[in-house]
Amino acid sequence: MRQDLNQMTCIEDLRQVAKRKVPKMFFDYVESGSWTETTLRDNRNDFTPIKLRQKVLVNMENRSLKSKLLGEEYTMPLAIAPTGLTGMVCADGEILVARAAEKFGVPYTLSTMSIASIEDVANNTSSPFWFQLYVMRDREFMADLIQRAKKANCSALVLTADLQILGQRHRDIKNGLTAPIKPTLPNLLNLAIKPEWCMKMLNTDRRTFGNIMGHAKYVTDASSLMKWTAQQFDQTLSWEDVARIKDLWGGKLILKGILDPEDAQKAAQYGVDAVVVSNHGGRQLDGALSSIQALPDIVSAVGNKVQVWLDSGIRSGQDMLKAWALGARGMMTGRAFLYGLGAYGEDGVRRALEILYNEMDLSMAFTGHRNLQDVGREILIADRFPLSQQEKKESINQQRRRIYEELYGWPRASLRFGTMW
């Protein structure tokens, strides 16, 4: 196993192994984006044109990526994003990921739609983790979830704002995604070629949504659970609910799923502690902007009022460094750690975190820095990164001024410039 892990030199290696080991239905669930998957692809592709400035002959010794998220110091500015059904990617998945995160020194976020329950994860880990809340129509159930998270000593609540309705992912429908898995012929044939996954799953009794089963009214078995889940996402969720949830929770609140600067401003007004610029990993509104493209406007709108973080598309430490340079003060990753989990369980998640850390650390060094806290936009090549609307306007005005100066000479250009713009 150790040998195999050493061969894993990038997140794509872990993805390839996970693809072999995880049943198709759950691997597809991880991979999928909504509809045409354009936003899913843009999340990755839009990192590529951003170019880093290499600096040479500077001292590169004693580097640090240490960063604060919500006032707590972590090994690097990365948190594990909440992902539903993690315990179906690998048996006991949530507990394995939480342990790997704890050992590495990054926060773990448990999803409402997890397989292991809040209490189960708390009993099997020693550091506080974060809890992600989906707002359900059954408000009693929601209030109870918040109380359970408090009792389990969760140190922050992540409120997901972009999933009142589920984006359509074709593959999940075609595969008939369920937890536990339905014993249909195609499923059984697929399980037959995933022996390691099956053995581990037979050795655990965590096989369905642990936060819901036994807690939500009238949910007693798999079929009532599926019905309940399908009807429960609350389409009426509003900004007033953010205020109510903030009061009920009473602790640090992160709002996840912000893509628009006006929404970011509202979030700041409602007093959240951080916003996550996110399109849910391309799983909700297909055709929405990639997160890295949306980031500059949001940083420009609220960067001095609230911590701005980013997720969606992060598969390397270079992606993290670019997002940091553009003003994200924290990142989350979903698929990168799920690939590690599906490939090698807890060891695989640790490997994914090591890969991201090393890539970010070395890339920072190549740009001439030793401490991430000193890194800003100067590590990016000018004209090769997305600008905020305000910066774009300023840059167009500058170009116009230059053209007029060339055409009419300085004094007349200034006069004319003054009257026209």
Where in 118-137 is the site for ligand FMN (CB under 6 A)? Answer: 132
* β 67-69/72-74 pair status: antiparallel
Output 30 or 325, the one with its CB closest to ligand FMN: 30
What would the DSSP string read from start to end of 37-72?
-HHHHHHHHTTTT--BPP--SS---S-B--EEETTE
Give the whole-angstrom CA distance, residue 24 versus residue 88.
Answer: 11
Output 172 or 361, the one with its CB closest to ligand FMN: 172
Give the whole-angstrom CA distance, residue 296 versus residue 299.
Answer: 5
Shortest distance (Å) from residue 301 CB to ligand FMN: 20
- 313 annotated among ligand-binding-site residues: yes
Output 74 or 130, the one with its CB closest to ligand FMN: 130
Check residue 324 and report its DSSP letter: H
194 binds ligand FMN (CB under 6 A): no
Quote the strand ranges of 340-399, DSSP E. none
By three-state DSSP, how is residue 81 classified? Answer: coil
Q: Are 66 and 75 in contact (CB under 8 A)?
A: yes
Output 328 or 413, the one with its CB closest to ligand FMN: 328
Check residue 74 and report its DSSP letter: E
HSE-up (13 A, CA, CB side) for residue 334: 24
Among 101, 314, 349, 379, binds ligand FMN (CB under 6 A): 314
Q: Which stretch binds ligand FMN (CB under 6 A): 217-225, 243-251, 331-339, 409-417?
A: 331-339
Q: Any catalytic annotation for residue 280?
A: yes
- 370 annotated among ligand-binding-site residues: no
Output 163 or 413, the one with its CB closest to ligand FMN: 163
Give the whole-angstrom CA distance, residue 133 versus residue 188.
Answer: 33
Among 13, 92, 263, 311, binds ligand FMN (CB under 6 A): 311
**Interhelix angle 335-366/317-325, nearest 10 degrees:** 70
Residue at shortest CB range from ligand FMN: 334
Amino acid at 361: D
Q: Which stretch binds ligand FMN (CB under 6 A): 4-12, 192-200, 229-237, 275-283?
A: 275-283
Nearest one of 77, 339, 118 to 347, comparing CA atoms: 339
- 137 annotated among ligand-binding-site residues: no
Output 329 or 335, the one with its CB closest to ligand FMN: 335
The interface mask with ligand FMN, positions 358-397, x = CB under 6 A, is ----------------------------------------
What is the number of other CB atoms lying within 10 angstroms of the CB of residue 293?
17
297 binds ligand FMN (CB under 6 A): no
Among 39, 117, 160, 208, binds ligand FMN (CB under 6 A): 160
280 binds ligand FMN (CB under 6 A): yes
Give the whole-angstrom CA distance, residue 372 versus residue 276.
Answer: 20
Among 23, 84, 87, 340, binds ligand FMN (CB under 6 A): 84
Where in 243-262 is the site for ligand FMN (CB under 6 A)? Answer: 256
CA distances from 151 to 99, 363, 374 (A): 19, 41, 38
What is the number of other CB atoms lying within 10 angstroms of the CB of residue 54?
11
Give the whole-angstrom CA distance, residue 189 versus residue 150.
Answer: 43
Shortest distance (Å) from residue 175 CB to ligand FMN: 13
Binding residues for glyoxylate: 29, 132, 134, 169, 280, 283
List residues binding ligand FMN (CB under 6 A): 29-30, 43, 81-84, 111, 113, 132, 160, 256, 278, 280-281, 283, 311-314, 332-335
Residues known to be catalytic: 280
Binding residues for FMN: 82-84, 111, 160, 256, 278, 311-315, 334-335
